[in-house]
């Protein structure tokens, strides 16, 4: 395999990786219609207190739409037990109680993607914030140090 072939294989892997990830999120959004968007950061830290600096995808943060009725599983901050959202309306995954409907849903999503950080890196890049909605993915540079 020459370098030109390798680049084509890598591009195909990135596209295939995004497609697989997109299918998982599509299924998740179908199961939880009141979740509007999911966001996460992924990067290799430039300093790790003497430990190796390894790439990782960080926890999922979630934005929910306001509850329309009592039949919806996920809705307001009271229901998910999160303190408050960021300026974009995302609740931090680590603030969400695992015993709530949203906590259980995020835990299930984390389990689906366990052990595939390398796919996320190849699909979206390093040092990025990724936001996924029903319409697709958006990436932007993130500054983590």
CA torsion through residues 102, 97, 68, 62, sign: negative
- Residue 31: the pLDDT is 86
Q: What is the pLDDT of residue 83?
A: 61
Task: Give 31 or 134, the one with higher predicted confidence.
Answer: 134
38-45 average pLDDT score: 92
38 in Cβ contact with 66 (< 8 Å): no
pLDDT at res. 129:
96
Q: Taking residues 70-95, what's their average pLDDT?
A: 64
Cβ neighbours of residue 18 under 8 Å, at least 6 residues apart?
123, 124, 137
Average pLDDT of 59-84? 63
Higher pLDDT, 38 or 33: 38
Task: Choose the most confident range, by mean pLDDT, from 45-49, 81-85, 139-143.
Answer: 139-143
How far is Cα 103 from Cα 74, in angstroms, rounded to an integer?
Answer: 10
- Given a contact cutoff of 8 angstroms between Cβ atoms, the answer to whether 25 and 2 are in contact is no
């Amino acid at each position: 395999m020459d370098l030109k072939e390798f680049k084509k294989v890598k591009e195909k892997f990135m596209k295939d990786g995004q497609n697989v990830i997109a299918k998982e999120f599509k299924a998740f959004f179908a199961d939880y219609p009141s979740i509007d968007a999911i966001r996460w950061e992924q990067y290799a830290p430039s300093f790790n207190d003497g430990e190796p600096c390894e790439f990782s995808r960080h926890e999922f943060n979630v934005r929910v739409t306001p509850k329309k009725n009592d039949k919806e599983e996920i809705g307001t901050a009271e229901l998910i037990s999160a303190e408050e959202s960021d300026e974009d309306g995302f609740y931090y995954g680590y603030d969400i109680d695992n015993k709530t409907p949203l906590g259980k849903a995020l835990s299930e999503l984390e389990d689906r993607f366990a052990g595939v950080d390398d796919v996320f890196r190849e699909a979206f890049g390093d040092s990025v914030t990724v936001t996924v909605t029903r319409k697709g993915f958006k990436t932007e540079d993130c500054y983590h140090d």
